[in-house]
Structure 1
Amino acid sequence: MIDSDGFRPNVGIILANPQGEVLWARRIGQDAWQFPQGGINDRESPEEALFRELGEEVGLSINDVKIIACTRGWLRYRLPRRMVRQHSHPVCVGQKQKWFLLEMLCPDDRVCMDRTSSPEFDGWQWVSYWYPLGQVVSFKRDVYRKALRELAPRLLPMQEPASKHRKEQQVSRRRRQERPEC
């Protein structure tokens, strides 16, 4: 399902542990690392795609995570020309992504990258929240920056400006505990 501008709808997954580190996955057979992500199928909501992709790529279920937040709109990246399949119809020039920030509720040993017959990843590690910006392939970097910046206040409340009053911080904490509208 490619839109009229040539972008394929997709979900991006930022999975955080209780220490605020994020899951960083290595693409199978490559020295390329990224956040888990995947396409949204016809008649599938972004949230449904999120949980399907989470199961396929990371081996986790809806009960293993909690949605903390999601990006307000679509974030787009264009593929480099050499990666665009010119002979496919319609031509996909890139991806438009809805990003989800999840809190992992289960032990690390529940992560399993090979639950499907064709896994996309062969390894993973916990990294600091901002680490992926310096490591991701260049054509995805701007989308990663936008997603991480938008979602950071929901995961990293300690990095909020020190000028906030205690009462405002308590309201912010309560808001984080409510289910986000994604």
Structure 2
Amino acid sequence: MSDLGYRPCVGIMLVNDEGRAFVGRRIDNREGDWWQMPQGGVDEGEDLKAAALRELHEETGLTADKVSILRKMDDDIAYDLPEELQGKLWGGRYRGQRQTWFLARFTGEDADVDLDAHDHPEFCAWQWLDLERLPEMIIPFKKRVYRSVLDAFRDLI
């Protein structure tokens, strides 16, 4: 599977006024209690910031007027799927993802979150999480990614 490339992806670390991050529990999460920040694929030719706001809306129901983008990470982060998943997800075309992360401040109210806003919800629950707990809540093969995101944005949170 080493000849497979990386799926272009964006992620948003959405933080509230208390400095806690939004995480959702994946609806397809059958083998663990894994939570993640909003993220998803980039359509061909799509602007990265627009893709991040689209993914945020699809996964949380939040519209662009409920967030303020503070920063984009300088470098993308690539990760490989575990060997048993490579060639199985995303039509078998990718070995992992190459993610561009954005930091955004939540400017809305908790009631603005609507996990059922999209036809195919990805989260079944959500919470505001203390930043230091983020790496322990994500599926193990993404822990390095979450530590890197935390390091990149910590000064603005």
Give 1:5 deviation, angstroms: 5.8
User: Residue 5 of structure 2 aligns with which residue?
Assistant: 6
Judge conservation of contact 1:14–1:99 (CA < 8 Å) in 2.
Answer: yes
User: Residue 16 of structure 1 aligns with which residue?
Assistant: 15
Q: Which moved more, 1:110-119 or 1:29-38?
A: 29-38
The residue matched to 1:20 in structure 2 has which SS?
coil
Give 1:29 deviation, angstroms: 4.5
Judge conservation of contact 1:6–1:90 (CA < 8 Å) in 2.
Answer: no
TM-score (norm 2): 0.90
Q: 2:37 aligns with which of 29, 35, 38?
A: 35
Would you tell me which structure has more strand in proportion to its own residues?
A: 2
The residue matched to 2:94 in structure 1 has which SS?
coil
The residue matched to 1:73 in structure 2 has which SS?
coil
Question: Is the radius of gyration larger for structure 1 or structure 2?
Answer: 1
Q: Write out the 4+ residue segments of structure 1 that deviate beyond 6 Å after TM superposition.
A: 87-90
Question: Quick one: percent identity of the two aligned structures?
Answer: 36
Q: Deviations over 1:2-47 (max 9, x none)?
A: xx86101101111111010111110014232111100000110110
Alignment of 1:1-182 (within 5 A): 6-30=5-29, 31-85=33-87, 91-155=93-157
Separation in structure 1 between the aligned mates of residue 4 and residue 87 of structure 2, nearest angstrom: 15
Separation in structure 1 between the aligned mates of residue 103 and residue 22 of structure 2, nearest angstrom: 11
The residue matched to 1:81 in structure 2 has which SS?
coil
Separation in structure 1 between the aligned mates of residue 129 and residue 139 of structure 2, nearest angstrom: 16
Alignment-mate amino acid for residue 107 of structure 2: L
Q: Cα–Cα, structure 1 residues 124 and 87, in superposed 2: closer, same or farther, change >3 Å?
A: closer
Which structure would you say has the larger RCO, counting Cα contacts within 8 Å and 6 or more residues apart?
2
Root-mean-square deviation over aligned CA pairs: 1.8
Q: Cα–Cα, structure 1 residues 63 and 88, in superposed 2: closer, same or farther, change >3 Å?
A: closer
